[in-house]
Homo-oligomer: A and B are copies of this chain.
């Protein structure tokens, strides 16, 4: 990372905090303002949170929270093992700073400010010597790796099998003679026809008894999660997230001013007992069908406990069913939204894992009482989504292509999963046993230590194989010993069986 030199020493004395506006928020605003107006130059080294807290006479948490927010928004980035710096915002440095600071904000936004030893421990190799960050970015915010899918990219379905000819035909059919009534300003909640089809699909495929009025079409799952954060989270609120978990969701909540609390995940999924211990928490984000990234399915007992928690606390559950279409064995459990009797669950769905991510088409199913407020919020944010993609998807579903394609994708993912399980090098030291994979598009394998995880990921990268470090999916202030966080996360659907076998051959050689 190029640091603008000379990096000015940063003088916290200039900061006036107004207690009536919230100290942490005030500090965040003061620092952000200084970055925007240039008083804090790019590359300026920020004091450690403890030092700044001392200098300002505020608690260290106040500083950590402000730093985290600045990370999430890209104003700060880290030079691993070397502290925290004002992001390099100059356009020429963009690509580079995107890669580094995004990777860092994903992996260690909290870690850098809390200076957990493990971060300096392994991350420098990531930032400076390997491509793992670019991979990490792939399924987090602000991806930088382009190029066709590779083994074992996470978050990418077998879109080489998508019926593009059909999609092209339907697109042309829509655009040749669109109904003029559809070309002006539409319903902020989305095309009524598509919403009705999604409601019908969720009723039949998920037992989710919802109406079209409860459905909001979004620009992918990320916008759906972000809308929940904007409308239901106030600055300073505590939001519980699975740990390890989907960091991009955490960033959406942090962006709305939430304080993130990690909740452990065991063989039954999110540990509700731990959630109960988080004082004043009224929102939790979960991936019940296939926990991201561990792959655990939330047990029915836990589902009921979670719903009971929400009802008792008048809380909200954000249920992200990001890959619910992929179930290979065993009956799928009913989504929380289908079990919800007290209208506390907001269900997030996406077409990205059945079609392809760049379609950016997702949806949110909200309790009837919230539908109007969400629709209004979205109207103020962007009015509504582009009409063509919505109408073409509606036609794609109505004509039966969608259901056919889901079956095709499930078969393909299963075959690709089997290719991975069959060719996986079983005799690698420090690598745990393969899990049973009954759902989803990725699997997670435990590794004995963080050091070993990093070594395996780096060697794989040198052999041109994308592996993800499980340690990156943890909040860095986790109490879990760092070696217990180590593992490998592999997406198995991105490439076909032949490419999968070939990648595993390269991997075996690289790891020898």
Q: Which A residues fall within an 8 A CB radius of B?
A: 19-22, 29, 36-38, 72-75, 87, 89-91, 94, 97-98, 102, 138-139, 141-143, 146-149, 153, 155-156, 159-160, 164-165, 167-169, 171-188, 211, 213-214, 218-220, 222-223, 226, 231-232, 234-236, 248, 251-252, 255, 314, 356-361, 368-373, 375-377, 379-389
Q: Which residues of B contact A141 (CB under 8 A)?
A: 188, 376, 379-380, 383
* Minimum distance in angstroms from A228 CB to a CB of chain B: 12
In the complex, given contacts A156-B184, A219-B386, what are 7 additional A-B residue pairs having Cβ atoms less than 8 angstroms apart? Answer: A20-B22, A89-B372, A143-B187, A146-B181, A164-B175, A184-B357, A222-B382
Given A20-B20, A91-B371, verify A186-B358 contact (CB < 8 Å).
yes
User: From A174, which residue of chain B is reached at the shortest CB distance?
Assistant: B168
Complex copy number for this chain: 2
Q: Give bound CA distance, A375 to B98, whole Å.
A: 9
Q: Give bound CA distance, A184 to B143, whole Å.
A: 9
Q: Which residues of B contact A180 (CB under 8 A)?
A: 148-149, 159-160
**A381: contacting residue among B173, B222, B373, CB under 8 A:** B222
Q: Which residues of B contact A155 (CB under 8 A)?
A: 185
Given A175-B171, A214-B91, A358-B184, verify A74-B372 contact (CB < 8 Å).
yes
Contact, CB under 8 Å: A360 / B385: yes
Contact, CB under 8 Å: B211 / A91: yes
Contact, CB under 8 Å: B159 / A165: no
* Minimum distance in angstroms from A285 CB to a CB of chain B: 14
Q: Which residues of B contact A218 (CB under 8 A)?
A: 382
User: From A22, which residue of chain B is reached at the shortest CB distance?
Assistant: B21
Q: Give bound CA distance, A314 to B381, whole Å.
A: 26
User: From A173, which residue of chain B is reached at the shortest CB distance?
Assistant: B168
Most interface-central of A91, A138, A173, A368 (chain B CB within 10 A) = A91
Q: Which residues of B contact A379 (CB under 8 A)?
A: 102, 141-142
User: From A191, which residue of chain B is reached at the shortest CB distance?
Assistant: B358
Q: Which residues of B contact A382 (CB under 8 A)?
A: 218-220, 222-223, 226, 360
Contact, CB under 8 Å: A376 / B183: no
User: From A19, which residue of chain B is reached at the shortest CB distance?
Assistant: B20
**A383: contacting residue among B90, B148, B156, B220, CB under 8 A:** B220
**A356: contacting residue among B184, B369, B373, B385, CB under 8 A:** B184
* Minimum distance in angstroms from A271 CB to a CB of chain B: 26
Contact, CB under 8 Å: B73 / A142: no
Q: Give bound CA distance, A214 to B90, whole Å.
A: 10
Query: What are the 6 tightest A-B residue pairs by CB atom distance, in nearest-first order?
Result: A74-B376, A168-B175, A172-B172, A143-B185, A142-B379, A223-B382
Most interface-central of A21, A36, A213, A386 (chain B CB within 10 A) = A386
Given A175-B171, A176-B164, A368-B91, verify A75-B373 contact (CB < 8 Å).
yes
User: From A381, which residue of chain B is reached at the shortest CB distance?
Assistant: B226
Most interface-central of A19, A149, A169, A172 (chain B CB within 10 A) = A172
Q: Which residues of B contact A380 (CB under 8 A)?
A: 72-73, 141, 222, 226, 248, 251-252, 255
Q: Give bound CA distance, A361 to B360, whole Å.
A: 14
Given A73-B376, A185-B155, A226-B381, verify A213-B94 contact (CB < 8 Å).
yes
Q: Which residues of B contact A22 (CB under 8 A)?
A: 20-22
* Minimum distance in angstroms from A36 CB to a CB of chain B: 7
Q: Which residues of B contact A159 (CB under 8 A)?
A: 180, 183
Q: Give bound CA distance, A379 to B155, whole Å.
A: 16
Q: Give bound CA distance, A184 to B164, whole Å.
A: 15
Q: Which residues of B contact A234 (CB under 8 A)?
A: 29
Q: Can you spell out 30 A-B residue pairs with CB atoms less than 8 angstroms apart?
A: A36-B369, A73-B380, A74-B372, A75-B373, A89-B372, A89-B373, A97-B372, A102-B379, A139-B185, A141-B380, A142-B383, A143-B185, A146-B184, A148-B181, A165-B176, A168-B172, A168-B173, A171-B171, A171-B388, A183-B358, A186-B358, A219-B385, A219-B386, A220-B382, A222-B380, A226-B381, A226-B382, A255-B380, A359-B388, A360-B385
